[in-house]
Structure 1
């Protein structure tokens, strides 16, 4: 838990304020702590690159040995530097009072005092002042991205209607509507879906092999007589870490290069021949459609009245979970340690079959479900707070969780049953809106980063040498 809070120490290299510095020659710049690149009025040092690499090694990440790592990290630092500079110009700031509150919240989530947290930061090899600056930068970056990208995404009712129609056709076996293909040599857009099996950068060889084995099995299944959408949904149901995603129509330059190389010669409705390996994990890809680029406006294909009428709410299914819980509310006289210890005791009794979960909930749960043995009824995606839902989704039927903390207090959770259920009209549209927003955000975010990089003044000086090496 603590590492989640302290990771910000290594997550972002601190922006250095050089706005008041005079313009100097390249030879002088090279001597400022080993500058790797000049970015507008600031710079990225070779030591910042070294720090990122050291942090990755400390986390046990598998790093490439072909010399590309330093260049990749430099590009990431350049983008972060540009964002921080632009955010400053836009007046986005984090006051000391706000920063103190954020640090206090981090310490509280780690169940330690601020003084103890500060001591742990220093023990990790950093100064607390540096940690504060890195954390401040992190928050500024998040706020800037949210304002510049997420806040500008617009979703129309027509897009929602089309999304529902397409998913209904796919789930009924009709597949996604095919478009007119691009003529040879003409620009095109490709609609790609993926099933993503993540791997932890610090995972051992065995875990990575298991992920690869799962990806290979999904690829074999995808090539068989099975609906890709349903295959992805089932894989995600079995393992919540696995994600299914439709990337939407993108021109080749907007697709990850690894993806495009894998599906370059793959036709619409076909699965890529190989599993794609990226630093994040394994990707099973299917080309849903290829079409000619529409010049001018780029409207979504409109559903016909017949297709729209077939998009009845019952045609989109979601996984619902019936669970029960024991809640100990946040209150004076009950600290986190005591609440967690009490719930762990109840958990051990249930696992040892010396007590019934429902009876314990009736006696000790502190919410309205207590009289019903803690039963919450059938719950779908988004019905519960994220911390509770994530913990619940990881449980098998009959399994009891470890104590889970949310804004309401501490919970012990047991899953009773799962089922596929039909979305109501309102829930169906909420689901569609969220899926479209996720798709649009990824594309808009990548476009935004590309624009930031293209409009900045960047001069790369020396990325290959470590900070301790002599400049070239």
Structure 2
């Protein structure tokens, strides 16, 4: 019941995006990619910046997108470069929407109503209040609906097309698990595989990162949100957690977040920003602070440091291979928790659900009621008869909102009300333990991690392929729509 699907993960990211942009509805308005209507089929050619297959991008669309970026207050390139960049983005979006339509990718009105309803809930607004805020920006509710519809269509189409291009072999999965086992053996309490470099001796460093993107053109609000997320992940990484699994969980919550292990590299092969941040960080330790780059924010962990051995003889390398490489060596933290669930339903507002769960929480904290008894009486799922007990759960077994709230709790602690796709939860952690991942779970995790490594390259290749096969003619992109003929 609590497992999330691939589409739900993408949809959750879109809902997060819609919620985060709520205070900036002007951006939502300006990023709208309008489709031709009967009235707009006859256009003055001077208003068209580019013909894209059977469609077009107008100069006004470029103006609107630039105005939205300027309102965000971020640092932007010079006017000519900015205009060309925005035009190219609009062309790519137009191509994707055209192809998605041809492939039958669509969003029904019922699905769209559900998405907008969830955005209103996340911002603690009624639908009527949401509409008022949209109109107050100078947009219209109909244009806002079209913007969201296009975003969902693009996300579905991208996921389907890019996923099909990512090929992961069994050998890649086996190698990933073997490397992870060695890293665990080296950083954990077992026999250390790596020999540290002596003072002044050359070394190799195995670094992993969790990357939270923040485009240089993004406004101050988006930058602050990305930094806040990175600092939260840094705090979590300092705990007793698997760093790459923490990254996988964050990526599940927001697909824009990436995680990867860079592998052993000499300092000169690491980005200078990274090396400066982990120069004095020991094996198994997290960098002291989040690293800011032009692309976004990076949370770094040193998985291992070892002496650089040049031209090592085969027999010298043999002891390294003696480290355990069987799948059973990967350990994860599992949590036993219980919850009280109030399902989302008509007649139960979010405010009422929060108020009821806050009341149960206060009773448990005051020791005037037992959590398990309250769960048996009030929880609205199958775990109620067991006092809300969910059993032992590992990283990624539960939906992200629940998982993150649970991981922040100490044993015996009760959470504040937590909202997920299933409704509102009150959570209590009962116990934690270190457990070995099953072979099946390890392979699932390895596949997800490898996919993250390959996704960016596959996505960029796919975009280039789309652009190269499209028929695009640039007409007049340099002048704004308001300029004379």
Q: TM-score range by the shorter chain?
A: 0.5 to 0.7
Establish whether residue 421 from structure 1 lines up as the match of residue 435 from structure 2: yes
Matched with 2:460 is 446
Normalising by structure 1, we get a TM-score of 0.67
Contact 1:121/1:128 (CA < 8 Å) preserved in 2?
yes
Check the 8 A contact 1:232/1:244 in 2, yes or no. Answer: no
Distance 1:124 1:209 in 2: 27
Residue of structure 2 in register with 1:143 after alignment: 156
Secondary structure of the structure 1 residue equivalent to 2:405: helix
Aligned to 2:143: 130
Q: 1:96-115 counterparts in 2 under 5 A?
A: 98-107=108-117, 110-111=120-121
Q: Which residue of 1 aligns with 2:293?
A: 277
RMSD (CA atoms): 5.1
Give the aligned partner of residue 293 of structure 1.
Answer: none
User: Where do residues 123-272 of structure 1 align in structure 2 (5 Å cutoff)?
Assistant: 123-173=136-186, 193-196=208-211, 202-203=220-221, 232-233=243-244, 245-246=259-260, 265-266=268-269, 272=275
Counterpart CA distance in 2 for 1:166 and 1:312 is 10
The TM-score, its normalising length taken from structure 2, stands at: 0.66
Asked if the contact 1:361/1:370 (under 8 Å) is kept, the reply is yes
How far the C-alpha of 1:107 sits from its partner, in A, is 1.6
Residue 54 (structure 1) shift: 4.1
Assess if the C-alpha contact under 8 Å between 1:15 and 1:84 holds in 2: no
Aligned partner (choices 393, 398, 401) of residue 379 of structure 1: 393
The worse-fitting range, judged by mean Cα deviation, of 201-210 and 272-281 is 201-210
After superposition, the C-alpha distances for 1:34-73 in whole angstroms (9 at most, x for unaligned) are: x444433433234323433444455x56333544544433
Q: Which residue does 1:344 correspond to in 2?
A: 358
| CA distance, structure 1, for counterparts of residue 400 and residue 226 of structure 2 | 27
Task: String of CA shifts for 1:4-40, please: whole Å, max 9, x gaps.
Answer: 586693484314449999999xxx63x21xx444433
Q: Which of 76, 83, 102 is the aligned partner of 2:96?
A: 83
SS in 2 for 1:80: helix
TM-aligned CA deviation for residue 236 of structure 1? 5.8
| TM-superposed deviation, 1:344 | 2.5
Q: Deviations over 1:90-135 (max 9, x none)?
A: 34344xxx12432144325634665665444334422233223223
When residues 160 and 370 of structure 1 are mapped into structure 2, their CA distance, relative to the original with a 3 A threshold, is same
Distance, in Å, in 1 between the alignment partners of 2:62 and 2:301 is 33
Q: 1:376: Cα distance to partner? A: 2.4
Q: 1:9 aligns with which of 25, 28, 31?
A: 28
Q: What is the aligned residue count?
A: 410
Whole-Å separation in 2 of the counterparts to 1:89 and 1:238? 34
Greater Cα offset, 135-144 or 358-367: 358-367
Query: Quick one: distance in 2 between partners of 1:135 and 1:166?
Result: 42
Give the 3-state SS of the residue equivalent to 1:410 in structure 2: strand
Instruction: Say if 1:276 and 1:36 are closer, same or farther in 2 by CA, change over 3 A.
Output: farther
TM-superposed CA distance for 1:80, in Å, is 0.5
How far, CA to CA, are the matches of 1:339 and 1:143 in structure 2?
32
- Asked if the contact 1:71/1:463 (under 8 Å) is kept, the reply is yes
Distance 1:204 1:141 in 2: 21
Structure 2 regions of 5+ residues with no counterpart?
Answer: 1-15, 187-191, 195-205, 278-290, 305-317
Looking at structure 2, the residues matched to 17 and 459 of structure 1 have their Cα atoms a distance apart, in angstroms, of 18
Q: Distance in 1 between matches of 2:325 and 2:477?
A: 54
How far did 1:449 drift?
0.8
Specify whether residues 23 and 327 from structure 1 end up closer, same or farther in structure 2 by C-alpha distance, changes over 3 A only: closer
Q: Confirm or deny that 1:64 pairs with 2:67.
A: no
User: How much does 1:272 deviate?
Assistant: 4.0
Q: Indicate yes or no: 2:422 matched with 1:412.
A: no
1:284 to partner: Cα distance: 5.0
